[in-house]
Amino acid sequence: MTAGARGLKDFSEPCGKLGEKQTRLIQIHTDLALLAEACLGELEGNLSLNLAPHAPWVTPPQTAGWARSPFGAIAPVSHDLYIQRHRNAGPSGPRSTFWTFMKLRNIAIIAHVDHGKTTLVDRLLQQSGAFRENQRVAERAMDSNDLERERGITILAKVTSILWHDTRINIVDTPGHADFGGEVERILNMVEGALVLVDAAEGPLPQTKFVVSKALKMGLKPIVVINKVDRSDARSTEVVNEVFDLFASLDASDEQLDFPILYGSAKEGWMAAAPEGPKDAGMQPLFDLVLRHVAPPSVEEGPFRLLGTILEANPYLGRIVTGRITSGTIAPNQMVKVLDHDGRLVEQGRVSKVLAFRGLERVGLDEAAAGDIVSIAGLPNATVAQTICAPEVMEPLPTQPIDPPTLSMTFRVNDSPLAGTEGDKVTSRMIRERLLREGEGNVALRITESDERDSMEVAGRGELQLGILIETMRREGFELSVSRPKVLFQRDATGELLEPIEEVVIDLDAEHSGIVVQKLSERKGELVEMRPSGGERQRLVLYVPTRGLIGYQGELLTDTRGTGIMNRLFHAYAPYRGAIRGRRNGVLISTEAGEAVAYALWNLEDRGPMLIDPGTRVYAGMIVGEHNRDNDLEVNVLKGKKLTNIRTTSKDEAVRLTPPIRMTLERALAYIQDNELVEVTPKSIRMRKRHLDPNARKRAERQREAIVIA
């Protein structure tokens, strides 16, 4: 019996068992037209077949799998086909069941910050028909939380899905800032392809290098998209050459070096094979290139397995874990277990929901198959980098190593006199639970118990990542105090002290390059490259110790009159480069508790600029200003004008105050010294001394000096 005859027999035998009101939908290749006609004739209208000429049924042996047909028979199916069962309840009558066979592609969009990733996803969603014509959609729809919209950056990796012809494309939008590189490292194991987005004027920058190196190591074949070719300073040809040089320097294979290139403007909504266009095809060239160049999901044989990649919480469904199904199928109410990276059992339970991405929304599935990216609910303890699998599976899926953190901060209970007046989550237990919960979902963070009482040590990739965590917590109602960021040192085999070095790329006007190089040299930086970047601007590349960059962002903006743009990326650990001088000015410290008085602040302006407004609540030990000299000075900001009954011919002098320095969270973290803390509440950001009592401060200072001398 031929293969076609066997297929005809397998599909035709169960046909008579179908109920009158049940409908079956199946997509098959045109080579089986004879089989389709036979089944249609036998079912007398109960079976509906949709021919899919782009989905070959018969596949080479090395890529062929086996899938159960809707009627219980076994039929060969390619891994290029996605098999999914849907159940719909009509307005009248019983639920109907139908099956679809669909092509699938999984891709990630990776690039440096502000090169247009999220805008590109917007255009792909719009032109794929994911939105109604009259649907109101916000700009940068994938940046869904408030912090992302306020800062204009992507912080969390997110998944969306679009349908292009007969292919479903799962797209992962990733952060572009180096501090959130852990998000990019995690999601690369979910995809088979990557769009490397590069600005047509800026070219490849540090984060471009970082994400491309990770993608190349995993064997992905990237598609290079030169975005923003509509800029007046665009230099598309030079940027393509720079991208090729970058790939070559990262030891890309010959196949990876033969990357396809598209040019276009995500903002204007077009892509083409040349910078000049044509522009009337919209995003179709990009869609078609993804279908041709990106391989279908690689599917393994065996029972259900999924590696958790993204973790989030839902008020109705609880913990939701997102990942790509490596093998098998998953359905609601199916029994599964969770294994950690060592193979130890974490928990067992039933899946309550299987959710798939459809545009910006999620829809429930009755079953999902290997290759698709889905979200699973119902497992309260499952987290990132753990394997969710069938009960018979004993080995976990391998995880990609994550680069270690380079900075740490101490999160403490807020013990100032104003503690508990603005927030409702103030205890060490609440802070500890919140940080541990954050550590489960963010593998780039390392949360440990601190030696200090009522405190936790949080290590991350950079100041921005830790600052985002603090800002998120204060918006949730937490009150806490945090220390100055500290660099995490290491020692080599010989015992030599090593410190993290970062690659710093600064774009600035040529006239300011001298002062920038001088300042970074004082911070133990080493100039590697200086070259023109077009438009009378220069690009500086330096290797600078991480501790030398703490607090430098504001100084750079001052030195370059606001025109300097700094990007940084962890480079390597290198021998310790010696002491770096910190803040050159002391601070003004309040000696009393109460509300600041305008007259007192006016009299103190000669001592240095103020950090508070009149009427601000202060306490003893709180930092209220910056001293003009290099020592700290205790002042009384509550002292009012003495009133007498003596009249004078001249009117009293009007109190005119200079506007105070406004401290943002990031600026305050960079400003403080080791003996100071930043007090963070939902309404205020204050700076204070670690020891509020002046006598305790003096004792601590003497102890520190004794340790230094010893």
Single-letter code of the amino acid located at 678: V
CATH architecture designation of domain 305-389:
Beta Barrel (2.40)
CATH 3.40.50.2000 correct for 491-575 = no
CATH of domain 413-488: 3.30.70.870
Long-range contacts of 142-151, Cβ-Cβ distance < 8 Å, separation of 24 or more: 142/118, 142/173, 142/360, 143/118, 146/475, 147/468, 147/471, 147/472
CATH 3.40.50.300 correct for 102-293 = yes
- Give the pLDDT score at 33: 36
Residue 276: both structure tokens together: 């000049």
- Give the pLDDT score at 349: 92
Rounded Cα distance between 614 and 596, Å, is 5
Among 259-263, 280-284, 607-611, the minimum mean pLDDT is found in: 280-284
Residue 389: both structure tokens together: 């699998």
| 357-396 confidence digits (pLDDT tens) | 887 788 898 999 888 899 999 998 888 888 999 999 999 9
- Give the pLDDT score at 686: 94
DSSP classification of residue 437: H
| 226-246 confidence digits (pLDDT tens) | 998 988 888 899 999 999 998
DSSP classification of residue 532: E
Question: In 3D, which of 320, 449, 456, 468 has the Cα closest to residue 388?
Answer: 320
Rounded Cα distance between 343 and 100, Å, is 35
Q: How far is CA 221 from the centre of its chain?
A: 22
In the predicted model, what is the mean pLDDT of residues 465-477?
A: 90
Q: What angle do CA 449, 702, 546 make, to 5 degrees?
A: 50
**3-class SS of residue 190:** helix
- Give the pLDDT score at 634: 93
Residue 461: both structure tokens together: 């990739």
DSSP classification of residue 610: B
Return the CATH class of domain 587-709.
Answer: mainly beta
Tokens 């700009």 appear where? Answer: 139
Query: Which one has a higher pLDDT value, 2 or 709?
Result: 709
Task: Encode 575-596: b = buried (16+ Cβ within 10 Å), e = exposed.
Answer: ebbeeeeeeeebbbbbbbeeeb
Statement: residue 220 has pLDDT above 90: no
Report residue 507: phi and psi, to 5°.
Answer: -100, 125
Rounded Cα distance between 677 and 127, Å, is 50
Contacts of 348 (CB under 8 A, 6+ apart): 335, 336, 337, 338, 391
Residue 353: both structure tokens together: 């929901």
Residue 685: both structure tokens together: 């950001």
Chain mean pLDDT for the chain: 79
Statement: residue 223 has pLDDT above 70: yes
Helix (H) or strand (E) holding 631: none
pTM comes to 0.74
Among 82-91, 428-437, 560-569, 591-600, the minimum mean pLDDT is found in: 82-91
Statement: residue 619 has pLDDT above 80: yes
Confidence of residue 642 (pLDDT cuts 50, 70, 90): confident
- Give the pLDDT score at 336: 94
Residue 317: both structure tokens together: 């469904």
Question: What residue ranges do the domains of the chain occupy?
Answer: 3-78, 102-293, 305-389, 413-488, 491-575, 587-709
Rounded Cα distance between 284 and 532, Å, is 36
- Give the pLDDT score at 216: 87
Among 120-124, 241-245, 319-323, the minimum mean pLDDT is found in: 120-124
- Give the pLDDT score at 329: 92
Statement: residue 552 has pLDDT above 70: yes
Rounded Cα distance between 238 and 258, Å, is 17
Rounded Cα distance between 585 and 167, Å, is 62
Statement: residue 11 has pLDDT above 70: no
Statement: residue 302 has pLDDT above 60: yes
In the predicted model, what is the mean pLDDT of residues 279-287?
A: 88
How many other C-beta atoms lie within 10 A of the C-beta of residue 239?
Answer: 22
- Give the pLDDT score at 233: 83
Query: Which one has a higher pLDDT value, 117 or 652?
Result: 117
In the predicted model, what is the mean pLDDT of residues 103-114?
A: 84
- Give the pLDDT score at 86: 41
Residue 438: both structure tokens together: 């954050």
Rounded Cα distance between 439 and 408, Å, is 14
Statement: residue 702 has pLDDT above 90: no
**3-class SS of residue 670:** helix
Q: What percent of the chain has pLDDT over 70?
A: 80
**3-class SS of residue 128:** coil
Query: Which one has a higher pLDDT value, 142 or 149?
Result: 149
Round the CA-based radius of gyration of the chain to a whole number and report it: 31
In the predicted model, what is the mean pLDDT of residues 24-45?
A: 36
- Give the pLDDT score at 41: 38
Q: How far is CA 105 from CA 80, 171, 665, in A?
A: 9, 9, 41
Question: In 3D, which of 8, 125, 16, 137 has the Cα closest to residue 75?
Answer: 8
Single-letter code of the amino acid located at 7: G
Q: What percent of the chain has pLDDT over 90?
A: 28
Report residue 8: phi and psi, to 5°.
Answer: -65, -40
How many other C-beta atoms lie within 10 A of the C-beta of residue 547?
Answer: 22
Statement: residue 58 has pLDDT above 50: no
| 481-540 confidence digits (pLDDT tens) | 999 998 989 888 888 999 999 889 888 888 888 999 998 998 899 999 898 877 778 889
Rounded Cα distance between 3 and 101, Å, is 20
Among 76-80, 495-499, 603-607, the minimum mean pLDDT is found in: 76-80
Taking a C-beta distance cutoff of 8 angstroms, is the pair 330, 306 a contact? yes
Taking a C-beta distance cutoff of 8 angstroms, is the pair 398, 386 a contact? no
Residue 6: both structure tokens together: 């066997």
Domains 305-389 and 491-575 share a fold: no
